[in-house]
Amino acid sequence: MYLSRLILNPRSRQVRNELADPYEMHRTICKAFPDGLFKVERGVENAANVLFRVDLQPRTGVPTLIVQSHQRPEWSFLLANRKDYLLRGNDLPRDVENPAIKELNLHFYEGQLLAFRLRANPTVKKGREGKRQGQRLGLLREEDQRNWLERKFEFAGAALINVNIVNEQFTCGKLFKEQEEKKRMYFLSIQFDGILQVKDRNKLMSNIATGFGSAKGFGFGLLSLARTA
């Protein structure tokens, strides 16, 4: 897998529009990969399997885009065609590469404690009369959000040790489908920061690759891990 870090230019009109509509950012990210990979279902060997998240730098508020993918992205189109999309030149700290790409080699062991960050859309699916597919409803209570995370981690081979939950309210996006108008959608956005313990390293690695929860095309589901101090 590959991990990309792109420091975005908050003065760019396109960046501001995409922060307000994450699915448009998803469509921009798609252009970094060969045609067709986004039409392959997740889990298939040659799928791009892209997950992304935008973090705001604490002191400056500058948006940083984190992209995880199975295929190596090619970001040169952002430098050639969208010259104001990324921070460049004197706006960057010295010796900071932008964009930056590294191969993601996950090395951890069972029992290890790891710090994590996850922006997710915690939901429960409720059946509707006469409908084959149930409706996803956001979990609004913090207790329900924590229980949702505990279940996801347990399924993924990890145990939740502690967590700080930040309710970011709702993320708005417009989903584009062929021959249809854009459909405005709203997603409950919760940021989880905390400590987990590895129980099954292979299951955890597999779930990191595919992501957690729903609405991945809107910037949810990317689990970031770091060693604890």
Which ranges of 43-116 does DSSP label H, i.e. alpha helix?
76-81
Identify the CATH class of 113-227.
alpha beta
Place of tokens 């199975």: 70
| pTM over cut 0.85 | yes
Dihedral sign computed on CA atoms, order 211, 213, 215, 221:
negative
User: What does the domain layout of the chain look like in residue ranges?
Assistant: 2-103, 113-227
Domain 2-103 has CATH 3.40.50.720: no
pLDDT of residue 175: 58
Q: Which of 31, 65, 70 is nearest to 48 (CA)?
A: 70
Low-confidence ranges of the chain (pLDDT < 70): 35-48, 127-134, 171-183
Question: What pLDDT was estimated at residue 58?
Answer: 86
CB 165 within 8 A of CB 136: no
pLDDT of residue 89: 82
Helix/strand/coil for 86: strand
